[in-house]
């Protein structure tokens, strides 16, 4: 999403180049990063083209008026076909990893999500996930804590990686009010057409 120590070209710079060409913009192009996806995750992302839009979108994300839906292919089937997970997540900066606890701890932040089983492959279960909070690696950490690590997510307990280095977590859709025109915006990202998502059967 943004530049890091790898030096790889981030998505934000690719989008800036697209805007500069499409709208023939002279000079530097403004682009606000509204939210982030972990590097190995696919799906919908939102950028802001003006500072006013960025400020308003940031507030919408903060108060929870943006509806985000994720799909995750996980090891193991949850004991319940749908439910709500509540944990307290403690982030370890050195490991770039979060740890889930079922009780409050110093410096830990409460994390809440809803999940529902919506499909299967031969060996994996497809979950639909809705976030109530936005914590570091929240979906990855909480699903692993439930005993259902995401396919390919070695950091959170998957037994093997995906061949392309991704994890099978997909930001499926996002719904929000346009920060200027106030029309409803709904964007849905198609599933990656390779690897683990093939052979998926939905309910």
Is residue 56 within 8 Å of 65, Cβ to Cβ?
Answer: no
- Cα–Cα distance, 143 to 157 (Å, whole number): 10
Count CB neighbours of 173 within 10 A. Answer: 17
Instruction: Find, among 26, 31, 29, 28, the residue nearest to 11 by Cα.
Output: 31
Is residue 59 within 8 Å of 159, Cβ to Cβ?
Answer: no
Token pair 């809705």 is found at 130
pLDDT of residue 7: 73
**14 Cβ contact list (under 8 Å, min separation 6):** none
| Residue segments in the chain with a per-residue pLDDT below the cut of 70 | 1-5, 199, 201-203
pLDDT of residue 3: 65
pLDDT of residue 94: 94
Across 93-162, where does the E strand assignment appear? 97-101, 109-120, 125-131
- Return the active site residues: 38
Domains present along the chain, CATH in parentheses: 67-202 (3.30.2350.10)
pLDDT of residue 158: 96
pLDDT of residue 77: 95
Burial classification of residue 136, based on how many CB atoms lie within 10 Å of its CB (0-12 exposed, 13-18 middle, 19 or more buried): middle
pLDDT of residue 202: 61
CA angle (163, 165, 170) in 5-degree steps: 105
């Amino acid at each position: 999403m943004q530049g890091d120590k790898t030096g790889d070209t981030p998505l934000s710079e690719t989008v800036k180049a697209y805007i500069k060409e499409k709208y023939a913009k002279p000079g530097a192009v403004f682009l606000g990063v509204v939210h982030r996806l972990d590097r190995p995750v696919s799906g919908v992302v939102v950028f802001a083209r003006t500072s006013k839009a960025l400020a308003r979108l940031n507030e919408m994300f903060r108060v929870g008026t943006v509806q985000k839906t994720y799909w995750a292919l996980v090891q193991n089937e949850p004991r319940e076909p749908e439910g709500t997970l509540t944990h307290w997540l403690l982030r370890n900066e050195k490991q770039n990893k979060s740890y889930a606890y079922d009780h409050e701890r110093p410096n830990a932040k409460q994390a809440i999500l809803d999940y529902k089983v919506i499909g299967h492959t031969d060996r994996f279960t497809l979950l639909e996930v809705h976030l109530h909070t936005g914590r570091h690696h929240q979906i990855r950490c909480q699903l692993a804590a439930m005993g259902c690590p995401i396919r390919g997510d070695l950091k959170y307990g998957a037994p093997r990686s995906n061949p392309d280095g991704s994890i099978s977590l997909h930001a499926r859709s996002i719904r929000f009010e346009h920060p200027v025109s106030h029309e409803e915006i709904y964007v849905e990202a198609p599933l990656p057409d390779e690897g683990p998502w093939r052979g998926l059967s939905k309910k």
